């Protein structure tokens, strides 16, 4: 049973055009945003598997390697990590990217591009643009595409789709979940995959270094706006002292939301001369608008931004906008 779409574009038409190009072509390159997460990885691997099942030639190229916690994903080794992709293919499929530059992969501009995304603010950079804001994850769109292509929903494909949905909904806690989400998960679970083990691989399989870093971060956590905003600041010194690798920090930003009074969390890290800030929220507080004010983006409850050449007061400026978002939500 396919759940209805309710996006502002015409997703069924865009789905048909995307499907037709994939069925007609024989060779494709798949990519997603730099610093991949569960949804970008799961979506790429699931679609790549389905296309190969149909006899297509597929390459998956990402700018950055997958975080270690996703090492269990089926066929993860098929992803190439490279700064450029100059191969001639019938089309490039870009998943979960609001703009082509977010891939940070050079050499895609001259190709036919299929842009598949569920984020608000997509710049519609593709030859075909399938954007569905009602989807909780890009993996939802990939599920519909795989069904439209006539590929079999195998356990490997199901595992990757489930990881995309599980992680992009914050373990089914974000406001973007619909009945369609659970219907897709019902179909996925019907393949016989072990959803409990998948969740354990993501949420209870971290390193001791991650645990030590978590303790330090929570011990040094700053509270603002009457305790409603929690600020976590990660430094290279903290990473070195705890033995935590940067890619083992997935999900730490969510921990302060367990406190009743905390409505928004900011996790900040300065790297390469830039300040990267991850934002998480609850109670319908829109952190996506905060991120967009600094050139970032994301979802209502989960967003991120990067400030190039940050000033000493850069983080305070983000905190001030977060406080404004909370005050506005109270009205």
DSSP for 203-248 reads HS---HHHHHHHHHHHHT-EEETTTTEEEEEE-HHHHHHHT--GGG
Q: Which of 136, 162, 127 is nearest to 41 (CA)?
A: 162
Report the b/e string of 45-61 with b at 16+ CB within 10 A: bbbbbbbebeebebbbb
Write the DSSP symbol of residue 73: S
For residue 2, what pLDDT is reported?
Answer: 36
What CATH class is the domain 11-202? alpha beta
Write the DSSP symbol of residue 106: B
User: Helix or strand or coil: residue 299?
Assistant: coil
Q: What angle do CA 184, 141, 29 make, to 5 degrees?
A: 130
> In angstroms, rounded to a whole number, what is the distance separating the alpha carbons of residues 303 and 280?
7
CA dihedral (80, 17, 126, 163) in degrees, to 10, reads: -40
pLDDT per position as a tens digit, 128-169 = 999 998 899 999 999 999 999 999 999 999 999 999 999 999
**CB neighbour list of residue 41: distance below 8 Å, 6 or more residues apart:** 32, 66, 70, 73, 76, 79, 160, 163, 164
For residue 319, what pLDDT is reported?
Answer: 96
pLDDT in tens, the chain (331 residues): 333 333 333 345 699 999 999 999 999 999 999 999 999 999 999 999 999 999 999 999 999 999 988 999 999 999 999 999 987 899 999 999 989 999 999 999 888 999 999 987 888 999 999 999 889 999 999 999 999 999 999 999 999 999 999 999 989 988 789 999 999 999 999 999 999 999 999 988 889 999 999 999 999 999 999 999 999 999 999 999 999 988 888 889 999 999 999 999 999 998 888 999 999 999 889 999 999 999 888 888 889 999 998 998 999 999 999 999 998 876 5
Has domain 209-330 been given CATH number 3.10.310.30? yes
274-281 β-sheet, strand order: 222-224, 229-234, 264-271, 274-281, 302-308, 297-298
Domain-by-domain residue ranges, the chain? 11-202, 209-330
Q: Which residue has the tokens 């970008």?
A: 40
For residue 25, what pLDDT is reported?
Answer: 96
For residue 11, what pLDDT is reported?
Answer: 45
Tokens for 1? 């049973």
CA dihedral (32, 38, 43, 45) in degrees, to 10, reads: 90
Tokens for 160? 């990757």
Element (DSSP H or E) covering residue 64? none
Q: Alpha carbon 193 to chain centroid distance?
A: 22
Q: What angle do CA 280, 271, 294 make, to 5 degrees?
A: 50
User: Helix or strand or coil: residue 79?
Assistant: strand
């Amino acid at each position: 049973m396919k759940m209805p779409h309710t996006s502002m574009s015409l997703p069924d038409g865009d789905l048909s055009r995307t499907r037709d190009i994939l069925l007609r072509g024989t060779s494709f390159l798949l990519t997603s945003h730099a610093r991949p997460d569960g949804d970008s990885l799961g979506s790429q691997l699931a679609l790549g598997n389905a296309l190969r099942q149909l006899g297509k030639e597929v390459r998956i190229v990402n700018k950055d390697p997958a975080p270690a916690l996703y090492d269990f994903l089926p066929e993860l080794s098929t992803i190439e990590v490279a700064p450029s992709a100059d191969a001639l293919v019938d089309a490039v499929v870009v998943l979960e990217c609001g703009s082509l530059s977010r891939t940070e992969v050079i050499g895609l501009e001259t190709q036919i591009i299929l842009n598949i995304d569920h984020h608000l603010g997509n710049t519609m950079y593709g030859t075909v643009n399938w954007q569905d804001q009602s989807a909780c994850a890009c993996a939802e769109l990939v599920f519909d595409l795989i069904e439209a292509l006539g590929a079999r929903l195998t356990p490997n494909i199901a595992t990757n789709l489930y990881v995309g949905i599980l992680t992009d909904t914050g373990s089914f806690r974000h406001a973007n979940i619909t009945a369609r989400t659970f219907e897709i998960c019902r179909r996925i679970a019907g393949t016989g995959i072990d959803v409990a083990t998948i969740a354990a691989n993501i949420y209870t399989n971290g390193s001791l270094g991650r645990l030590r870093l978590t303790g330090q971060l929570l011990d040094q956590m700053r509270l603002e706006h009457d305790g409603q905003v929690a600020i976590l600041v990660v430094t290279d010194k903290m990473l070195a002292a705890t033995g935590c690798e940067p890619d083992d920090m997935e999900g730490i930003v969510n921990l302060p939301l367990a406190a009743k009074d905390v409505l928004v969390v900011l996790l900040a890290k300065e790297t390469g001369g830039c300040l990267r800030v991850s934002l998480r929220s609850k109670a319908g507080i829109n952190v996506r608008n905060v991120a967009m004010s600094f050139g970032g983006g994301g979802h209502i409850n989960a967003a991120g931004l990067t400030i190039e050449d940050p000033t000493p007061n850069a983080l305070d400026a983000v905190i001030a906008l977060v406080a404004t978002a909370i005050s506005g939500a109270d009205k």
